[in-house]
Amino acid sequence: MKHAHSRKADFDFAWPTAPLNIVLVQPEIPPNTGNIARLCAATGTRLHLVKPLGFSISNPHLRRAGLDYWDAVHVQTHPDWAACGCALGTSRRFFYSTGSPRLYTQVAYQPGDALIFGCETRGLPEDLLAAHPESVLGIPILTDHVRSLNLSSAVAVVAYEALRQLNIRPTRGQPLKYN
């Protein structure tokens, strides 16, 4: 569904030739996932949800947070990490953790990259982080005051940094390619 908005600006922005992938591993809070789905609709980013989920896909809070943008979201649900990994194919994978000393800005993002986030209460599983130490990144926060950012805020920070880096010319106006 296309949504008319009288104040929407048409930015001179080049979207990536292959969409980014946002992966949520075992998300627990429906409004966070709904907000992330709305972000995916706004950016043409694919959304991957890895079970078990802490809610039903039909949860009204999930639907409300995503508003009526769900028809614009390319979402896939996977029974486990292995199935998600297969679906991602050869996409480069970046894992986000509050424990990483490497900043999310210290990588050159590419079209089709997978940005992988853990659940709200535990983050990503330790074995997953240990298996990919060179690909674990973090967002700086003052840890004296908070333990972590809200999941939907962290996803937005990273997704827009990747899109900022990918805003290259002359691809303006070309459609995203979903394989």
Q: What is the domain-level CATH number for residue 120?
A: 3.40.1280.10
Which residue ranges of the chain lie beneath pLDDT 70?
Answer: 1-8, 59, 61-68, 168-179
The per-residue pLDDT for 144 is: 84
Domain count, the chain: 1
The DSSP element (H or E) to which 47 belongs, if any, is: strand 46-50
- CA atoms within 13 A of residue 94's CA, in its CB half-sphere: 26
pTM of the predicted model as reported, rounded to 2 decimal places: 0.86
In a domain, 138, yes or no: yes
Residue range(s) defining the domain that contains residue 114 = 21-166
Region of residue 59 (phi > 0: left; psi between -120 and 50: alpha; otherwise: beta): beta
In a domain, 179, yes or no: no
> Which residue is associated with the tokens 């043409």?
44
The CA–CA distances, whole Å, from 140 to 33, 145, 148, 173 equal: 22, 12, 9, 34
